[in-house]
Chain A
Amino acid sequence: MIQRIARILIVITLVLALVIPPPSALACGPYFPVTIFIQTKHPDIPLEKFAAGELGVLQPTYSRSYLVVAYRYFSGGTFDSSEQEQLLALWAHRLDREGYWLKGKKKNAYQVWLEARYLYATGSRPAPTRDDENDSPGYGPSSSGYYQFQNCADDAYLTAAKTLATRSKQFGQRSDELRSWLNAQDTVFNNCGGSLGSNGGPALPDEAPQQLPVVLRADRSYQIAAAYFYSQDWTEAEQRFQTIAQDSSSPWQSIAAIVAVRTKLRKITLSEDPPESHKNDFAAIDAELRNLEKMPSMKDLRPAIWRMRGFVEFRLDPNARRIELADIIEHAKHRSTLREDLDDYTQLLDRAVDDDPDEEASTGPRVPVTRSYKKFAAVRSLSSMTDWLLTFQAADETATARALVKWKESRSLPWLVAALSKASPQTPNLPDLLDAAAQIQPNSPAYLTVSFHRARLQAESGDSDAARQTIENALSASSAKTLPSALNLFLSLRTKLARNLDEFLQSAQRRPGVVTDDMDNRDLPDPVESCDYSDAETKAACVARFSPPPMFDADAAAILTEGVPTRTLALAASNSRLPENLRLELVESAWVRAILLNDDDVARQLVPLLSSLSPDLASGTKIYLESDSSSRRFAAVFLILHRPELHPYISVGVGRQTLPGHMNSYHDNWWCSLADQDKQDGWRGNYYSIYRNIDGPLLTVYSDKKLDHPSFLTEAEIKTTEKEWSALTKLDTAPNWFASEVFAFAKANPNDPRVPEALHYVVRATHLGCTDPETKRYSKSAFQLLHKRYPARPWTEKTPYWY
Chain B
Amino acid sequence: MTHPTKLAGGLVCALFMAVLLDATLVPSRARSYAIHYLHLSAGKTGLRLSNDRARNLPHIIFWAWERPEDLRFLAPDRAGVAFLAKTIRFRSGTLNLPENSGVSFAVQSRHQPLEVSPDLPLMAVVRIEVFSGPPPQSYKPPVPPVFFTTTVPNALEDRLSSQIAELQNLPGVAAIQIDFDASTSEHAFYSALLQNVRAKLPASMPLSITALASWCMGDRWLTRLPPGTIDEAVPMLFRMGPDSANVAAFLRSGNDFPVPACRGSLGLSTDESLSKEVLTGKLIGLPSDWREKRIYVFSPRAWSQPAAEKILEVWQP
List the interface of chain A (C-beta within 8 A of B).
11, 15, 18-21, 23-32, 97-100, 108, 110-111, 114-115, 118, 122, 124-126, 131-137, 139, 141-142, 144-150, 272, 356, 358-359, 527-534, 666-667, 682-685, 776, 800-803
Contact = CB atoms under 8 A, between A and B. Distances in A.
B214 A359 contact: no
26 contacts: A15-B30, A18-B31, A19-B30, A21-B31, A24-B219, A26-B213, A28-B181, A111-B142, A114-B141, A124-B147, A125-B147, A133-B107, A133-B159, A135-B107, A135-B135, A135-B137, A135-B138, A137-B139, A142-B113, A145-B170, A145-B171, A146-B85, A146-B110, A148-B111, A359-B301, A534-B93
A125 B147 CA distance: 6
Contacts of A29: 181, 212, 239-241
A146 B81 CA distance: 12
A136 B35 contact: no
Contact of B30 (A18, A133, A136): A18
B163 A133 contact: yes
Contacts, number: 176
A684 B109 contact: no
A532 B243 CA distance: 26
B47 interface: no
A147 B138 contact: no
Contacts of A667: 242, 245
Given A18-B24, A108-B139, A358 B108 contact: no
A122 B28 CA distance: 72
Q: Which 4 A-B pairs have the closest CB atoms?
A: A529-B133, A99-B136, A24-B218, A26-B214
Interface in B49-104: 67, 83, 85, 89, 92-93, 104
Interface residues of B, number: 73
Given A148-B111, A149-B111, A21 B214 contact: no
B171 to A, nearest CB: 6
A325 B25 CA distance: 75
Contacts of B83: 146
Given A145-B170, A527-B133, A15 B20 contact: yes
A744 to B, nearest CB: 25
Given A28-B184, A139-B109, A776-B28, 12 more contacts: A19-B23, A29-B212, A100-B136, A133-B107, A133-B159, A136-B111, A147-B112, A148-B109, A356-B301, A530-B133, A667-B245, A802-B27
Interface of B: 20, 23-24, 27-28, 30-31, 33-35, 67, 83, 85, 89, 92-93, 104-116, 132-143, 145-148, 159, 163, 170-171, 181-184, 212-214, 217-220, 239-247, 273, 300-302
Contacts of A125: 147
A134 B109 contact: yes
B106 A666 contact: no
Given A146-B85, A358-B301, A99 B138 contact: yes
Contacts of A531: 132
A39 B300 CA distance: 22
Contacts of A666: 242-243
Contact of B139 (A23, A110, A141, A682): A110
A530 B132 contact: yes
Nearest to B273: A682
Nearest to B89: A135
B27 A18 contact: yes
B42 to A, nearest CB: 14
B242 A358 contact: no
A144 B122 CA distance: 13
A644 to B, nearest CB: 16
Contacts of B140: 111
A356 B300 CA distance: 10
Contact of B147 (A32, A111, A126, A534): A126
A11 B35 CA distance: 20
B135 A99 contact: yes
Nearest to B140: A111
Contacts of B217: 24, 26
Nearest to A150: B111
A132 B212 CA distance: 31
A527 B242 CA distance: 23
Contacts of B219: 23-24, 26, 28
Nearest to A363: B300
A11 B133 contact: no
Given A118-B142, A683-B242, A685-B242, A147 B110 contact: yes
Contacts of A20: 31, 34
A801 B27 contact: yes
A21 B245 contact: no
B23, B183, B247: residue with the most chain A Cβ atoms closer than 10 Å: B23
A683 B244 contact: yes
A776 B28 CA distance: 10
A145 B172 CA distance: 10
B171 A27 contact: no
B34 A21 contact: yes
